[in-house]
Structure 1
């Protein structure tokens, strides 16, 4: 790279030649713990969208994501998938990642081991039956969990996902307030928590545009957790 640019007499990013070096420690090598963010040196963020209600706003959000070619990770409640299979399929057909959000939105931290396992299993079975997908990630409702929840999810092949930036959209803030809340706190590796709500639907295009202008890629949780610094679009 140096020799090419020396001959040209100027720095040119397109002439850089490099290889990405794999890390010594891999995510799969670590003991199961909740994940709050991606790597701080990776200029990517993820939209994590928890779905148990808000169908009318979901139908507004999906075309915006498609228009801007943004893929998100949707954590679906099992009961919701059972009652709204066509909407679940619309999310999948948009190329989005599908995660587990429990079966009927309990406080997972207060359940017995057997009930934790049942919530996770029933949701995975419903998602598999409806979409033919096995979730890699689990997002506990309201972010409530204890170690047993993380361990049970791990036994089922799922990592437990939380967030670093919360839209708090369920409180129905003005779109400008939601946008400022996100854009003032966003950082490399941020996972941005959303729900299908009116302020989120109205803010989504603005957030995408501003995040791209700040130099962030927007990808799924799996893309964010990928060891590669950048994901090819």
Structure 2
């Protein structure tokens, strides 16, 4: 009987010790969980959560191409979103959020210029901080070398709209312009009033010019600029059938009136806006103004590029903030 009591006493003492140890372990485990929860609360959202929140804040919707009542065909503009996966991969090594390391990707709109019915184009998208120099060339070849040097110095490209019979006389100069990275456009063959031509004659002017430009430069124009800005719906339709958009301008230098360089520059800078197409010719006024004009356009945070690049949906991206995209 005494042995049994002893065994019971030992068993009770063992059980008490077991529960005491277990309770300590459980208490320690709970305390550890509590500490982890407090740390998580103090350290804020995870890196991935921060990136996901930034992605929501920085999302910019794409804008469709449209026909405007005043400006006619206006190109679309890509939207913008943060690539969460790539941004996370770039930041996870340091384990902290860095705005400068956000990676963006562009979202195309659903409606593009090519989806619209044929219509003239006067400008690019107003949200695109870019302008284009549209230089119509039917004479003035003596001023082209100096203008090309200025463009080269500033590492920018323009669109030169060639008259066909001018290219026939100056194929080497036309090729030099294209070889320098500039865009070549169609400006008719004989510089007629396109609004007075039959559809057949208008087509002949465009086709003949395309052939001579392609023969001289190896490139086929995608843009048509009607002489003096004169056209009809049939002109635009004919150009469309030949794979060309009809483009005009929003800012005219009126350089053929021989303004002083100061007058030309002030005229352009006072009227220029994002998306503007600036009409020029190879004249003494434009040649003398070009360097300062480009500097002032850049000072207004406007990129200068070809008309086709202006009309593209590609965004000009700034990584500093979504408001500047």
Class of the TM-score when normalised by the shorter of the 2 chains: over 0.9
Deviation at residue 173 of structure 1 after TM alignment: 0.4
Check if 1:132 corresponds to 2:223.
no
Paired residue for 1:168, among 241, 254, 264?
254
Q: Distance in 1 between matches of 2:214 and 2:146?
A: 25
Partner of 1:198: 284
Provide runs of 4+ in structure 1 moved above 6 Å. Answer: none
Paired residue for 1:157, among 238, 243, 247?
243
Q: Distance in 2 between matches of 1:23 and 1:180?
A: 36
Check if 1:228 corresponds to 2:301.
no
Residues 177-196 of structure 1: matches in 2 within 5 Å?
177-196=263-282
Q: Distance in 1 between matches of 2:158 and 2:198?
A: 31
Q: Distance in 1 between matches of 2:209 and 2:256?
A: 23
Q: Determine which structure has greater relative contact order: mean sequence separation of CA pairs < 8 Å that are 6+ residues apart, divided by chain length.
A: 1
Q: Is the 8 A contact 1:223 1:231 kept in 2?
A: no
Give CA deviations for 1:85-142 in whole Å, capped at 9, x if unaligned. 1111111121100000000100000001111011001000111111111100000000
Query: What RMSD in Å do the two structures reach over aligned CA positions?
Result: 1.7
Paired residue for 2:185, among 80, 95, 99?
99
231 and 101 in structure 1: CA distance in 2 versus 1, 3 angstrom threshold = farther
Partner of 2:175: 89
Q: Distance in 2 between matches of 1:231 and 1:34?
A: 28
Deviation at residue 15 of structure 1 after TM alignment: 3.5
Deviation at residue 59 of structure 1 after TM alignment: 1.7
Residues 100-119 of structure 1: matches in 2 within 5 Å?
100-119=186-205
Deviation at residue 17 of structure 1 after TM alignment: 3.2
Gapped regions of structure 2 (runs ≥ 5): 1-50, 56-90, 319-325
Paired residue for 1:51, among 125, 137, 140?
137
Q: Distance in 1 between matches of 2:102 and 2:163?
A: 45
Deviation at residue 231 of structure 1 after TM alignment: 8.1
Q: Distance in 1 between matches of 2:183 and 2:260?
A: 28
Q: Give the 3-state SS of the residue equivalent to 1:20 in structure 2.
A: strand
Partner of 2:5: none
Q: Which has the greater radius of gyration? A: 2
Gapped regions of structure 1 (runs ≥ 5): none
Q: How many residues were matched structurally?
A: 227
Q: Give the 3-state SS of the residue equivalent to 2:105 in structure 1.
A: coil
Q: Is the 8 A contact 1:102 1:119 kept in 2?
A: yes
User: Comparing both structures, which one devotes a greater share of its residues to helix?
Assistant: 2
Question: What TM-score do the two structures reach when normalised by structure 1?
Answer: 0.93
Partner of 1:17: 103
Q: Is the 8 A contact 2:187 2:225 kept in 1?
A: yes
Q: Is the 8 A contact 2:172 2:216 kept in 1?
A: no
